[in-house]
Amino acid sequence: MLKPMMYRSDNFYAEQSLLMVSNELLGYMNDRAVIDSLIKTDLKDLPQQPSWVDGSGLSRFNLFTPEDLVTLLIKMKNEFGLQRMQNVLPKGNTGTLEDRYIKVGNNIFAKTGTLNGVVALSGYLVCKSGKLVLFSVLVNNHNDKASAVRSAIEKFITGIWEKY
């Protein structure tokens, strides 16, 4: 279920998945109730209190900091293992990273996020040295084309991969 959603970035599917999680955890479908429950339990140790209103990620009211996202990446790596994260998230030149990170290849596995004026990328990077870097880049309120911002982020991440 997760791999197709991460590769296609299907926001409707994500919203429906959150409702199914609600049904499993609470016995009824209510995204607000399950979000409140998750923030009070599984996400209680996030560095900043997020604003989370839906499962699709399309709302401008969904506000997570890059530090929160790195904390989630750490939690997922610790709970599920790095191998599972590599299997779920797109790698260079696949899924939402298609035509990007070709040089880095399988050494990056990450999820994109894009809204008008916002470009984000969070994930895992295995540098040339073998060092694992967990990262979250957020460019907010830009006036350029999203493709230009994605290119700048790619250059930045590729530089980290090469240097570290």
**Residues 9-57 pLDDT 10s:** 778 888 999 999 999 999 999 999 999 999 999 999 999 999 999 888 7
The larger pLDDT score, comparing residue 4 to residue 105, is at: 105
Checking if the pLDDT of 1 tops 80, the result is no
Length of the chain: 164
Classify domain 65-164 by CATH number: 3.40.710.10
Per-residue confidence (pLDDT) for residue 96, from 0 to 100:
92
- The full set of domain ranges for the chain reads 1-64, 65-164
Beta-bridge partners for 159:
none
Residues 149, 91: Cα–Cα separation, whole Å: 19
pLDDT tens profile 101-136: 999 999 999 999 888 899 999 999 999 999 999 999
pLDDT tens profile 54-100: 888 777 888 899 999 999 999 999 999 999 999 999 999 999 999 99
Per-residue confidence (pLDDT) for residue 91, from 0 to 100:
97
Q: What are phi and psi of 143, to 5 degrees?
A: -110, 5
Helical (H) or strand (E) element with 84: helix 82-88
What the block records as the tokens of 56 is: 């699709």
Per-residue confidence (pLDDT) for residue 163, from 0 to 100:
95
pTM of the model: 0.92
